[in-house]
């Protein structure tokens, strides 16, 4: 087990035209489960491949503890990698697939046998050791890939979207399993995904990347509650955070956010927070789940609130939740997420209660 430190790590392709990874500084703690989250093409795989030694950085350093591994070949790093495409060998049995990395390391036969059975038990594939990959389901094949990764007891476990080829139900089940396995083994893990739910449910911390840069690193709740940018705010959470352009106005003792066709009055204690924005235009953000509708659902937990009047424009009944789209003026549509079935009709007038302890203000860039 080891701490992994990335120091101003860069990888440019095509003579610098593609800045795949552009100055990443990140420390992954010993035993931590860190999720690298970001959209397709943001540089996640390239970052992981540099940590694995499969890609040489353009500049920067990679440390495992106090050892500089930047230019060390993969075989000398004691890392394991699990890919999206399971990459198990079709001509080998499950047993031989898992045993393979140990054979390469020339472990004695009895030790190989012990370790293969240990890893297979952990992944609950002890009954499948004689089978060939073609005789396995996608989920079982991925278990083999994970067993093969952990059998060497790596210092660092690297996973690149390992669940994205599985169907939705299996993916949810495997999330919990991989997380539990990692907790048990305490192996430093870097898990790449573009799926924000996977990141929220699995990571001890989430590192959000975009365009080769790290935007925010923190525990899931912190990244969710205190996003530091519009990108992070909208990438995490579904449906995504409502964003509205408003001008911050001072009115006597309090503050009003003036939008086109609507106003959000704020109590005086927001003066401190928003004082620097007075008479400026900013982006106001509120998550759909941080609002309710008067007379429709409970408001008990809301301490400070503002009311927005709207007209129901569209209703998405999801069964467990309902997403109400409301026009709050001048065609500004806001989405409100409410638990359960909501007996509202398109065209009806609603009073939207905004939980002011969960509002966000971003610079308009």
For ligand ADP, give the closer residue by CB, 1 or 18: 18
Burial 246-262 (b: 16+ CB within 10 A, else e): bbbbeeeeebbbbbeeb
Decide whether 45 or 97 has the Cβ nearer to Mg ion.
45
Q: Which residues, 10 to 49, sit near Mg ion by CB under 5 A?
A: 45
Out of 9, 43, 128, 166, the only residue in the binding site for ligand ADP (CB under 6 A) is 43
Please identify, using beta-carbon distances, which residue of 20 and 244 lies nearer to ligand ADP.
20
The listed partner (Mg ion, ligand ADP, none) that binds 220, CB under 5 to 8 Å by sort, is: none
CB-nearer residue toward ligand ADP: 188 or 210: 210
Partner whose binding site includes residue 43, from ligand ADP, Mg ion, none (CB under 5 to 8 Å by kind): ligand ADP
Nearer to Mg ion, 45 or 140 (CB): 45
Q: Residue 116: enclosing H or E segment and its boundaries? A: helix 109-122
Tell which positions 269-328 bind Mg ion, by CB under 5 A: none
Looking at residues 207 to 246 of the shown chain, list those that interact with Mg ion (rule: CB under 5 A).
none
Choose which of 22, 26, 46, 162 interacts with ligand ADP (CB under 6 A). Answer: 46
Q: Shortest gap between Cβ of 35 and ligand ADP (angstroms)?
A: 13
- From 28, 42, 50, 181, residue interacting with ligand ADP (rule: CB under 6 A): 42
Which is closer to ligand ADP, CB of 38 or CB of 53? 38
16 touches ligand ADP (CB under 6 A): no
| Buried b or exposed e, range 97-125, using 16+ CB within 10 angstroms | bbbbbbeeeebeeeebeebbeebbebbeb
Residue closer to ligand ADP by CB (options 44, 143) is 44
Can you spell out the DSSP letters for 181-218? HHHHHT-EEEEEES-HHHHHHH-SEEEEEETTEEEEEE
Residue 241 has what DSSP assignment? P
Which one of Mg ion, ligand ADP, none interacts with residue 325, CB within 5 to 8 A by kind?
none
SS3 99: helix
Other CB atoms within a 10 A radius of the CB of residue 210 amount to 18
Within 8 A by CB and 6+ apart from 134, the residues are 90
Query: Which positions from 142 through 181 interact with ligand ADP, judged by CB under 6 A?
Result: none
Rounded to the nearest whole angstrom, what is the least distance from the CB of residue 155 to Mg ion in the complex?
Answer: 22
In the bound state with Mg ion, the residue whose beta carbon lies nearer, of 45 and 188, is 45
Interaction of residue 60 with ligand ADP, rule CB under 6 A: no
Stretch that binds ligand ADP, among 12-20, 85-93, 134-142, 214-222 (CB under 6 A): 12-20
Smallest separation (angstroms) from ligand ADP to the CB of 124: 29
Q: What is the SS3 assignment for 120? A: helix
Q: Which two tokens stand for residue 272?
A: 């401190």
Q: In degrees, to the nearest 5, what angle opens at C-alpha 191 toward C-alphas 135 and 290?
A: 115
- What single string gives the DSSP state of each residue in 322-362? EEEEEE-STT-EEEEEEES-----TT-EEEEEEEGGGEEEE
The sign of the torsion formed by the CA atoms of 82, 85, 89, 93 equals positive
41 binds ligand ADP (CB under 6 A): yes
Residue nearest to Mg ion (CB): 45
Touching Mg ion, residues 38-97 (CB under 5 A): 45
For residue 45, CA distances in Å to 82, 212, 323 come to 12, 11, 34
Cα of 216 vs its chain's centroid, Å:
11
Tell me how far apart the alpha carbons of residues 21 and 195 are, in angstroms, rounded to a whole number. Answer: 20
Query: Which residues, at least 6 apart from 228, have a Cβ–Cβ distance to it below 8 Å?
Result: 215, 216
Distance of CA 119 to the CA centre of its chain: 27
- Closest approach of Cβ 283 to ligand ADP, in Å? 26
For residue 202, the minimal CB distance to Mg ion (Å) is: 17
Q: Which residues would be at the binding site for ligand ADP (CB under 6 A)?
A: 13-14, 18, 20, 38, 40-46
Q: Which residues would be at the binding site for Mg ion (CB under 5 A)?
A: 45
């Amino acid at each position: 087990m080891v701490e992994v430190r990335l120091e101003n790590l860069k990888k440019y392709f095509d003579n610098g035209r593609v800045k795949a990874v552009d100055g990443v500084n990140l420390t992954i703690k010993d035993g931590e489960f860190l999720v690298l989250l970001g959209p397709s093409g943001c540089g996640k795989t390239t970052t992981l491949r540099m940590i694995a030694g499969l890609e040489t950085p353009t500049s920067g350093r990679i440390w495992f503890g106090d050892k500089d591994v930047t230019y060390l070949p993969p075989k000398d790093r004691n890392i394991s990698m699990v890919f999206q495409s399971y990459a198990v060998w079709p001509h080998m049995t499950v047993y031989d697939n898992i045993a393979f990395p140990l054979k390469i390391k020339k472990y004695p036969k009895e030790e190989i046998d012990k370790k293969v059975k240990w890893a297979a038990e952990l992944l609950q594939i002890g009954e499948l050791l004689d089978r060939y990959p073609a005789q396995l389901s996608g989920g079982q094949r991925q278990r083999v890939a994970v067993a093969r990764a952990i059998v060497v007891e790596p210092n660092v476990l690297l996973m690149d979207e390992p669940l994205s080829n599985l169907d939705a139900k299996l993916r949810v089940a495997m999330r919990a399993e991989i997380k539990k396995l990692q907790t048990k083994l305490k192996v430093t893990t870097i898990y790449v995904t573009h799926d924000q739910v996977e990141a929220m449910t699995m990571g001890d911390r989430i590192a959000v990347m975009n365009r080769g840069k790290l935007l925010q690193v923190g525990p899931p709740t912190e990244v969710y509650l205190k996003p530091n940018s519009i990108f992070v705010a909208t990438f995490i959470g579904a449906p995504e955070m409502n964003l509205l352009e408003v001008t911050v106005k001072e009115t006597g003792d309090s503050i009003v956010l003036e939008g086109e066709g609507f106003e959000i009055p704020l109590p005086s204690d927001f003066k401190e927070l928003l004082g620097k924005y007075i008479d400026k235009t900013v982006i106001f953000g509120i998550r759909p789940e941080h609002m309710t509708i008067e007379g429709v659902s409970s408001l008990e937990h809301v301490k400070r609130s503002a009311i927005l009047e709207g007209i129901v424009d569209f209703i998405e009944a999801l069964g467990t939740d309902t997403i109400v789209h409301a026009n709050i003026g001048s065609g500004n549509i806001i989405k409100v997420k409410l638990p359960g079935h909501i007996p509202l009709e398109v065209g009806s007038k609603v009073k939207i209660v905004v939980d002011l302890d969960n509002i966000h203000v971003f610079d308009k860039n």
